[in-house]
Amino acid sequence: MLNETTAHISKKIAVATNDNVLVAGHVGRCKAFLIYETDGSKIISKEIRENSFTHHSPNGDHAKDHHHQHGDGHQNLVAGLKDCESLIFNHGGWRLIEDLKAHNITPILTNEEVAENAVLKYLNGNLVISEENVCRSHQQ
């Protein structure tokens, strides 16, 4: 039987990436998500999930895809990351932020460049959050 001092709560933190090393800026166009399983203080394992969740494609027409995405929200992305408690990325639109929050995925915007460093700093409470990175250009 585990006691409170030996029991660890596992949680997963997703990081948007284009190269499996650095934090990506645009979630919809990122190539993959690094999924870090943690025990709340350190990284236990890392998984790479290809981005098949968003309507944007790395080489697609952003303007066309952008409007289709918002018609139905970000359900595919939320479903693809439903086992994660947080998503770290560089910048994103306010609708994405709200959809993540509505599905209990904490959006974490940062200028930290290296994904693993961002996760470790987040776990230690030292990650600099950059709320000014939220795009509000389409907000009414």
What tens digit of pLDDT does each residue of 50-63 get? 998 876 545 444 44
Q: Is the pLDDT of residue 129 over 50?
A: yes
Q: Within 13 Å and on the Cβ side, how many CA atoms surround 3? A: 1
Indicate whether this model's pTM tops 0.75. yes
DSSP sequence for 20-87: SSBBPSBGGG-SEEEEEEE-SSSEEEEEEEE--SSS--TTS-HHHHHHHHHHSTTHHHHHHTTT-SEE
